Amino acid sequence: MTINVPEELETAPGVIQNPHEVEFYSREYPLESQTVEYTADFEWLKSVAPEEFLVELKMHDSMHKAIIAESMNTGDMDPTAEPVPGKDVTQLIKDKARELGFGEVGITKFDKRYAFKSKRDWVKFPHAICLAYEQTYEPTQTAPSIEAEGPHFGTYRIMGALALDLGDYIRSLGYHAQVHNPLVESTVFIPMFVQAGLGQLGANGQLLSPHFGSRARLMVITTDAEVTHDEPMDYGINAFCAVCQVCVNRCPGRALLRERIWWRGTEKYKVMFRRCHPVMARYDSCGVCMKTCPVQRYGMKNVMDHYATTGQVLGKGTHLLEGYNLRELGYFGPGELPRFESDFFHFPHGKAEDLLFEEFKEKLRMGEVNDDSEGEAVLHEFKHRVEEYVNNRLDTPQMTQ
Ligand code: SF4
Ligand code: SF4
């Protein structure tokens, strides 16, 4: 597929960034996965999410568990053959990945600057094979809905299993292969996909891939195989998002920025988690910003060709692209957004154990923890809740978007 980028949309291949700043933040303020850092947020989600959604999530978690567990150990598995010395196996790996069903495949160096703090020692090999699997088209157009959530969760299961097969194949070529299932949460994937030329970051905070835009579900396999790295590309997205702005206009939580900002050394659109999470929690993981993106709906080539000939954003202002339903609130067409009171956006933020401790300190301050039997009961309850949290830790819902 050839994508003709109109001259006025050309900026730079990949992203615009200052490598020294990226390194500084990665060293001094390393990233951590949300399900480690924001356990209180996700505990809270369970108290407001629709029952139907929680049932779907639980079913997905239990079906996915064995695949995640197997992925965790793949870094320790030995190759099953001797490699052919000096033979570059890039094309063999890409062909196999496509045969298995991955729609986008690219290779770059594993970028440790984006690895999560708790997983830095887990990652073993230097090259990252970036793999994107297409989430089913039709149900995605119904987001936010349970119909769209099935394929969202299901895609992770399918690609998680296929990546285990691809790992076996790489081992049969004589090399190691460590499978980074998205729910293992080892690293931020998008920067490596951009570096491997598989798209650019959109204003919705998602990778806009050439074949299926933001409907791409992402994962990585790291390997020590003899491979050649791909190069970042300019698909025109850095400038196009500034013109388009559909996702920004349509976000029910007003969680997306109109302008790019400098964040940890990269010039990017930043999603405001505090405004997004309360919407995602109550409305089936939301996904309005994915659904309303023309690159997702019509494909990058069609969107760029349309812009080149008309100067317009394909589908902008139409009900087909911009309309969506929210549970109990009904339909919102172009120009219409729901209104939420400010307390809609209040939720406990941070680590669950920190919040428990804050609550306990408040009880101490209020004189509720004395040396009598009532004080002992408060202490006992605190211990019980900490134990409950520690034992349930692995059941934190996995909401990877
Ligand atoms: S998921 Fe929904 S609330 Fe969050 S940024 Fe996207 S459109 Fe906004
Ligand atoms: S909807 Fe428009 S502005 Fe938003 S990510 Fe897609 S192309 Fe960019």
pLDDT greater than 60 at residue 399: no
- Residue predicted with more confidence, 40 or 338: 338
CB of residue 287 inside a 6 A radius of ligand 2: no
Mean pLDDT of the chain: 93
Q: Which residues pair with 263 in a beta bridge?
A: 266
Kindly write down the DSSP assignment for every residue of 117-153, as one continuous string.
Answer: GGGTTT---SEEEEEEEEPPHHHHTT-SSHHHHHHHH
Pocket test for ligand 2, best of 201, 215, 240, 244 (most atoms within 8 A of CB): 244
Closest ligand 1 atom to the C-alpha of 401? 1
Which tokens belong to 81? Answer: 């053959």
Note the pLDDT of residue 74: 98
The residue-averaged pLDDT of 363-371 equals 81
Q: Quick one: pLDDT at residue 392?
A: 62
**pLDDT value, residue 310:** 97
Q: For the chain, give the percent of residues with pLDDT over 90.
A: 79
For atom 4 of ligand 1, the residue with the nearest CA is 276
Q: Is 202 in the pocket of ligand 2 (CB under 6 A)?
A: yes
- Mean pLDDT of the 347-375 span: 82
Statement: residue 177 has pLDDT above 70: yes
Statement: residue 397 has pLDDT above 50:
no
Which amino acid residue places its CA nearest to atom 2 of ligand 1? Answer: 286
Distance 245 CA to ligand 2 centre (A): 6
Is the pLDDT assigned to residue 326 strictly greater than 50? yes
Q: What is the pLDDT of residues 284-295, one digit of tens each?
A: 999 999 999 999
Provide the sign of the torsion angle of the four alpha carbons 254, 255, 257, 258, taken in this order. Answer: negative
Quick: pLDDT tens for 194-242: 999 999 999 999 999 999 999 999 999 999 999 999 999 999 999 999 9
Q: Is 241 in the pocket of ligand 2 (CB under 6 A)?
A: yes
Q: To test the ligand 2 pocket, which listed residue (240, 296, 307, 321) has its Cβ within 8 A of the most ligand atoms?
A: 240
Does 394 have pLDDT greater than 50? no
User: In 10 A of CB 181, how many CB atoms?
Assistant: 26
Query: Which position has the higher pLDDT, 153 or 223?
Result: 223
Most confident of the ranges 54-68, 145-159, 301-315:
301-315
- Nearest atom, ligand 1, residue 275 CA: 3
Q: What angle do CA 86, 90, 91 make, to 5 degrees?
A: 115
CA 196 / ligand 2 centre spacing (Å): 21
| The pLDDT of residue 132 | 97
Q: Which residues contact 337 (CB under 8 A, 6 or more apart)?
A: 250, 252, 254
Residue 396 has what DSSP assignment? S
> What is the model's pTM?
0.91
Q: How many CB atoms lie within 10 A of CB 229?
A: 14
Q: Is 295 in the pocket of ligand 2 (CB under 6 A)?
A: yes
Tell me: pLDDT of 191 over 80: yes
Interacting residues of 273 by C-beta distance below 8 A, sequence separation 6+: 34, 255
> How far does the centroid of ligand 2 lie from the alpha carbon of residue 161, in Å?
30
Taking residues 342-367, report their average pLDDT.
85
* Backbone dihedral region for residue 254 (phi beyond 0: left; psi -120 to 50: alpha; all else: beta): left
Q: Is the alpha carbon torsion for 190, 207, 200, 275 positive or negative? A: negative
Residue 204 alpha carbon to ligand 1 centre in Å: 8
How far apart are alpha carbons 179 and 299 in whole angstroms?
29
For ligand 1, the distance from its centroid to the CA atom of residue 275, given in whole angstroms, is: 8
User: Where in the chain are the domains?
Assistant: 1-350, 352-395
Tens of pLDDT along 70-122? 999 999 999 999 999 999 999 999 999 999 999 999 999 999 999 999 999 99
- Check if 236 has its Cβ closer than 6 Å to any atom of ligand 2: no
Closest atom of ligand 2 relative to the 245 alpha carbon: 3
Is 388 a residue whose pLDDT tops 80?
A: no
Residues 397 and 216: their CA atoms lie apart, in Å, by: 21
Is residue 128 over pLDDT 50? yes
Q: List all residues whose CB is within 6 A of at least one atom of ligand 1.
A: 251-253, 255-256, 271, 276, 279-280, 286-289
Q: For 53-73, what is each residue's pLDDT tens digit?
A: 999 889 988 999 999 999 999
Question: Are the C-beta atoms of residues 286 and 326 closer than 8 Å to each other?
Answer: no
Per-residue DSSP letter, 267: E
Cα(306) to ligand 1 centroid in Å equals 26
Residues pairing with 324 in the sheet: 332
- The C-alpha atoms of residue 128 and residue 234 are separated, in whole angstroms, by 20
Residue 326 CA to ligand 2 centre (angstroms):
20
d(CA 4, CA 9): 10
Between CA 92 and CA 145 the distance in angstroms is 39
Determine whether the shortest distance from the Cβ of 293 to ligand 2 is under 6 A: yes
Taking CA atoms only, the protein residue closest to ligand 1 atom 8 is 251
pLDDT at 400: 45
Please check whether residue 247 is in contact with residue 332, taking contact to mean a CB–CB distance below 8 angstroms: no
Residue 401: predicted pLDDT: 42
Protein residue whose Cα sits closest to atom 4 of ligand 2: 247
To test ligand 2's pocket by mutation, which of 3, 295, 302 has the most ligand atoms within 8 angstroms of CB? 295
| pLDDT of res. 360 | 82
Single-letter code of the amino acid located at 78: D
pLDDT at 398: 47
* Distance, CA of 242 to CA of 244 (rounded, Å): 6
Cis preceding-peptide flag for 50 (omega within 30 of 0): no
List CB contacts of 351: < 8 A, sequence separation 6 or more. Answer: 37, 38, 39, 40
Question: Does pLDDT of 385 surpass 90?
Answer: no
Confidence of residue 393 (pLDDT cuts 50, 70, 90): low
What is the arithmetic mean of pLDDT over 300-310?
97
